[in-house]
Amino acid sequence: EKSKAYDLMKGKFLRYWDGQGTYVLDPRYPEVRQFIIKTYIDATREWDLDGFKLDFIGRFNAGSDTDLTKANGRDYASVNEATDVLMTDLMKSLQDIKPDIMIEFRQPYVGPAMRKYGNMFRATDCPNLASVNRIRTSDLRLLSGTTAVHSDMLMWHYDEPVEVAALQMLNVMYSVPQISVRLEDIPEDHFKMIKFYTAYWLENRDVLLDGDFHAVSPLTNYPMLVGMKGDKKIATVFNDQIVEFELEKYTNVDVLNAKRSTHIIVVAKGETRKFEYVVSNCLGDEIKKETIDLSRGAHMFDVPSAGMISFRATQ
């Protein structure tokens, strides 16, 4: 009521949002759609922005007392149809200015239909909750096709052991990590860990983001995530899971140990093949390197918590 837009838009509201002390505009009015679109166009041009996070889209919905007619200047009776027109026209208007503009939505108003309105989907707020971030980004990956999926912002207590801090990174490796700790304030080993796993993510993003994505066991909150592309496979285990290793199919296999225990169990399938493996900790330091004949059956390896083991075929 204190904004300049109140008098301009008065009478064109869906409802009053008491918790926020504001009104929700009704997109069925052409003046409302024009006002919203112009606001974003002006911001893009004036501030040369790279993109927007469009929030609270879920508030555009009809209530039990909403008059679902075209009366009183509305050109749509349906709130849903009017919202679709608003978002479609908004996206087109912004892309006319910047073809590569980024438009982000966050849960819960994401899904296949939302892909035409934006090009980034983000997990809803879960700061310092690594497992929740994993679940939410995995849910999004399964629904979002090729649309970029971003984690919620990563943060942790700076007194945490570096292995615990690293779990925040490992839980979102199959999305775009958003790191929100202050790099100038974190301990040196935390910075080294971020540098290592950021470099690993950049090097392997084609597998992690663009490869075949397998989210194991949704009923138990995805205890293992797997990305596969070509002859490369990356598996991340969040509890004591068995990792299948198809010896004839993959020449490069990484297993990330995103749990506190140090045992990694690999079940090899196919004919015996020679591999070199390297065990690294979460700082990227090499702990062990060895060449073995990997035969069919179960094999157990010691891998530091938040570390990884990398297999490379040598024949």
pLDDT in tens, 39-90: 999 999 999 999 999 888 888 999 889 999 999 999 999 999 999 999 999 9
> What is the tens place of the pLDDT at every residue in 257-279?
999 999 999 999 999 999 999 99
Residue 3, pLDDT above cutoff 90: no
User: Helices then strands (H, E): number in the chain?
Assistant: 6, 17
DSSP per-residue string spanning 172-229: TTTSEEEE-S-TTTS-HHHHHHHHHHHHHHHHHHHHHTTSEEEEE-GGGT-SEEEEEE
d(CA 182, CA 141): 28
Supply the pLDDT for residue 4: 86
Dihedral-angle region of residue 101 (phi above 0 means left; psi in -120 to 50 means alpha; beta otherwise): beta
Domain boundaries, the chain: 1-122, 212-313
74: exposed, middle or buried (Cβ count in 10 Å: 0-12, 13-18, 19+)? buried
d(CA 14, CA 21): 14
pTM of structure: 0.91
CATH number of 1-122: 3.20.20.70
Mean pLDDT, range 210-215, rounded to an integer: 97
> Which candidate, 124, 170, 126, places its Cα nearest to that of 149?
124
SS3 percent helix, strand, coil of the chain, rounded to 5, is: 30, 30, 40
| Segments in the chain forming alpha helices (H) | 4-9, 30-47, 79-97, 130-143, 162-170, 188-208
| List of residues 6+ apart from 109 with CB closer than 8 A | 57, 58
Percent of the chain at pLDDT above 90? 87
Mean pLDDT, range 25-32, rounded to an integer: 96
Residue 91: helix, strand or coil by DSSP?
helix
| List of residues 6+ apart from 24 with CB closer than 8 A | 13, 14, 15, 16, 17, 59, 60
Cα dihedral 280, 141, 57, 91 in deg (nearest 10): 100
CATH number of 212-313: 2.60.40
